[in-house]
Chain A
Amino acid sequence: EVQLVESGGGLVKPGGSLRLSCAASGFTFNTYSMNWVRQAPGKGLEWVSFISSTTDYIYYADSVRGRFTISRDDANTSLYLQMTRLGAEDTAVYYCARGLVSGTTTPSPFDLWGQGTLVTVSS
């Protein structure tokens, strides 16, 4: 089955760190760009980060640049998001999402999403 499954969310104190994982299955993971998108409670979708299939291109939203690091392990078909210096504004459901077009580094919409993992930043 083609799917993405996020894990690693939970409750963390302000200033703390957390690492999210996204396990991919059912498709050729190493040919697709991947993204993290989040949704804060009661808010809309916010793109967080992009990594190309070759890892040559990595981008971040201004709101997380310098605090979050995206990475991938093609051997284990997994995507990661290392989050540091977390604040209340980072509380959200975090989704991993696949780029529509394989084998390209150009921007593309997201055709496959996971169910999300909840990150709560609170003391």
Chain B
Amino acid sequence: IQMTQSPSTLSASVGDRVSITCRASQNIGYWLAWYQHKPGKAPKLLIYQASSLQSGVPSTFSGSGLGTEFTLTISSLQPDDFATYYCQHYNTYTYTFGQGTKLEIK
């Protein structure tokens, strides 16, 4: 299963609403997770089962989608949100990640 994210890079400002798309090469149901990763830090689980918010994650993050197309939305960007975001499928043990979307400050 291949996971394709778009865009690869996204420039935005604090307070903006942004969305990142992830497409799976075949139906993965809702077995999709989103992670935030900053340089030198451990990746952080944000969303699992496509739309379930991980404990401790701000409600400005949300996920949607089913089957082959999924979206991560940040409703109001905060300074701490600038990072790289990855989707990951887990409907099989191959656990493929998307190539990542780097969210930059405009």
Contact = CB atoms under 8 A, between A and B. Distances in A.
Interface in B33-69: 33, 35, 37, 40-45, 48, 54
A26 interface: no
A61 interface: yes
Interface residues of A, number: 22
A113 B42 CA distance: 6
Interface of A: 35, 37, 44-47, 50, 57, 59, 61, 95, 97, 100, 107-111, 113-116
Interface of B: 31, 33, 35, 37, 40-45, 48, 54, 84, 86, 88, 90-100
Contacts, number: 59
Q: Classify the secondary structure of B's interface with A.
A: loop
A29 to B, nearest CB: 17
24 contacts: A37-B43, A44-B97, A44-B99, A44-B100, A45-B37, A45-B88, A47-B94, A47-B97, A100-B45, A100-B48, A107-B90, A107-B92, A107-B93, A108-B90, A109-B33, A109-B45, A109-B48, A109-B90, A110-B33, A110-B45, A113-B42, A113-B43, A113-B44, A114-B42
